[in-house]
C-alpha cells in the first residue's frame, strides 16, 4: 500500500491508473452557498461543465427552510487551469435540479420538484438562455418522488432513480411511489419500473451491467444508522421479449466511510464513487483499489479530458488529474 498526500492506493494494480504524478487542486470555492453538490456534466466541445448546488434559501447565511428551497445549475469553464469563470442558471421550470447527463446536444436534468412543482426529467440547452423542455414527470399519473440520477443507454432509453428525499426533507408531498429505478423510452413514451428494494439508489451502467449505490445509511432527515446499507450493488442487464431486465443482483462493494453517492466507470470497468472521505475506486471485481482523499468527502464528480476529474465538495470544487496512459471516463451515450 502506498500513500501520498491526496492519493491512498490499496492495490498496486491501480498505481498504473493514477500514474506516476497524479495531482489534486482546489479550483473554486464559495462559502456563501453550497454551489458544488451534484450532476457534473462535461461538455467537451466548449470545454465547460455543469454542476448543481445543494438546496439553499439564503446565500449569505446558508439557512435552509423546507418551504422555500431552491438550487441552481452552475456553468463553469476554464481559460487555463486556475482561471475559472462561472455563471448561474435557475429556472422555475426545473425546481431543485440535482442529477444530470449529456443528452441530445444539451443536458438531461433531474429536477426533484417542490410542493407546487412535480419532480421531473428536463432537457436543458447547454447554451444561453438555457431553455428547458419537460421530458417526463409521472408514472402513469402517479407523481415521481424526487428524481435523482440518470444515465442514457445506447438504445436511446433513459434510466433514472427516484428516491423519497423530497418528502423526508419537507419540500415534496407524501410519496406515491416506492424507491425505484425506471426505464423511460422517449421513442414511444413507454416507461417501466426495473428495480426496487433500495433505500437510496444512484447508478451507472456499462451496457452489460448496472451498478447501483444504496445510500440508506443516511436518511433525508439527517438520521444515520450503521446497520443500514452504504453499499454498491451490481445487476446484469438481460433481455426478455425485446425488453431489458435487471437480474442477478449481487453485493458489489461497501463504503467504509459514510455512503457511496455519485458513481461512474472508466474504460477498464473500474468503479468510482463519491464517499465520505473523497472518491473511492473499486476494481470490476469489487476490490478497493484507491482513494482520492478530499476533506469533507465528495458527493459527486465528473470526468473531463485525459484523466481529469472535477470533484464536488459542496462549497469547494476540486480538479484531480490521473496520469495513467489510458485513464479516462467511460460515459454511455456521449
What is the tens place of the pLDDT at every residue in 259-308? 898 899 888 888 999 999 999 999 999 999 999 999 999 999 999 888 88
Q: Is residue 29 part of a domain?
A: yes
Residue 327, in any domain of the structure: no
Could you tell me if 318 and 331 are in contact, meaning their C-beta atoms sit under 8 angstroms apart?
no
Residue position matching grid coordinates 426478455: 240
297 within a domain of the structure (yes/no): yes
For 126-142, what is the mean pLDDT? Answer: 92
Residue 196 backbone phi and psi in degrees, to 5 = -140, -165
Q: Does the pLDDT of residue 330 top 50, yes or no? A: yes
What mean pLDDT do residues 28-55 have?
88
How confident is the model at residue 177, as a pLDDT?
A: 95
108, pLDDT greater than 80: yes
Q: How many domains does the chain have?
A: 1
For 178-227, what is each residue's pLDDT tens digit?
Answer: 999 999 999 999 999 999 877 666 676 678 889 998 887 877 677 888 88
Tell whether 192 is covered by a domain: yes
- Tell me if 332 is assigned to some domain: no
In the predicted model, what is the mean pLDDT of residues 117-140? 92
Q: List the domain range (segments joined by +) for residue 263.
A: 2-321
Query: What residues pair up with 51 in beta bridges, in sequence order?
Result: 39, 74
pLDDT of residue 323: 82
- DSSP of 178-240: -SEEEEEETTTTEEEEEEE--SSEEEEE-SSEEEEEE-TTB-TTS-B-TTS--EEEEEEEEEE
Nearest of 163, 87, 126 to residue 334 by alpha carbon: 126
Which residues lie across from 160 on neighbouring strands? 150, 182
Q: With respect to residue 333, please indicate whether it lies within any of the assigned structural domains.
A: no
Q: With cut-offs at 50, 70 and 90, classify the pLDDT of residue 316.
A: very high
pLDDT score recorded for residue 199: 66
CATH of the domain at 65: 2.120.10.30
Residue 326 is predicted with a pLDDT of 66
Could you tell me if residue 330 is inside a domain?
no
- Work out the mean pLDDT of the chain and round it to a whole number: 84
- The model's confidence at residue 20, banded by pLDDT at 50, 70 and 90, is confident
* Span 67-83, pLDDT tens digits: 456 788 888 876 533 33
Amino acid at each position: 500500500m502506498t500513500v501520498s498526500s491526496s492519493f491512498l492506493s490499496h492495490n498496486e494494480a491501480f498505481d498504473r491508473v493514477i500514474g506516476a504524478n497524479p495531482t489534486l487542486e482546489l479550483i473554486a470555492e464559495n462559502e456563501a452557498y453550497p454551489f458544488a453538490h451534484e450532476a457534473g456534466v462535461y461538455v467537451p466541445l466548449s470545454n465547460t461543465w455543469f454542476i448543481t448546488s445543494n438546496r439553499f434559501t439564503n446565500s449569505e447565511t446558508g439557512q435552509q427552510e423546507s418551504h422555500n428551497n431552491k438550487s441552481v445549475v452552475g456553468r463553469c469553464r476554464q481559460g487555463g487551469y486556475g482561471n475559472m469563470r462561472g455563471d448561474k442558471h435557475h429556472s422555475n421550470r426545473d425546481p431543485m435540479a440535482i442529477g444530470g447527463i449529456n443528452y441530445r446536444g444539451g443536458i438531461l436534468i433531474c429536477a426533484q420538484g417542490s410542493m407546487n412543482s412535480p419532480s421531473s426529467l428536463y432537457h436543458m440547452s447547454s447554451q444561453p438562455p438555457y431553455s428547458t423542455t419537460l421530458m417526463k414527470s409521472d408514472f402513469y399519473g402517479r407523481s415521481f418522488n424526487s428524481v435523482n440520477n440518470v444515465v442514457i443507454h445506447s438504445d436511446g432509453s433513459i434510466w433514472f432513480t427516484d428516491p423519497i428525499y423530497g418528502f423526508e426533507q419537507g419540500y415534496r408531498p407524501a410519496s406515491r411511489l416506492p424507491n425505484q429505478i425506471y426505464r423511460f423510452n422517449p421513442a414511444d413514451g413507454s416507461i417501466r419500473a426495473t428495480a426496487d428494494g433500495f433505500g437510496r439508489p444512484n447508478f451507472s451502467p456499462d451496457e452489460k451491467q448496472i451498478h447501483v449505490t444504496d445510500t440508506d445509511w443516511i436518511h433525508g432527515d439527517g438520521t444515520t444508522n450503521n446497520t443500514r446499507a452504504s453499499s454498491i450493488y451490481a445487476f446484469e442487464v438481460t433481455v426478455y421479449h425485446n425488453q431489458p431486465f435487471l437480474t442477478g443482483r449481487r453485493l458489489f462493494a461497501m463504503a467504509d466511510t459514510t455512503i457511496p453517492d455519485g458513481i461512474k466507470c472508466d474504460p477498464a470497468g473500474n468503479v468510482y464513487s463519491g464517499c465520505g472521505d473523497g472518491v473511492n475506486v473499486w476494481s470490476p471485481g469489487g476490490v478497493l483499489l484507491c482513494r482520492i482523499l478530499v476533506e469533507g468527502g465528495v458527493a459527486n464528480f465528473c470526468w473531463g479530458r485525459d484523466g481529469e476529474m472535477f470533484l464536488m465538495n459542496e462549497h469547494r470544487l476540486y480538479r484531480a488529474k490521473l496520469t495513467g496512459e489510458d485513464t479516462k471516463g467511460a460515459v454511455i451515450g456521449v
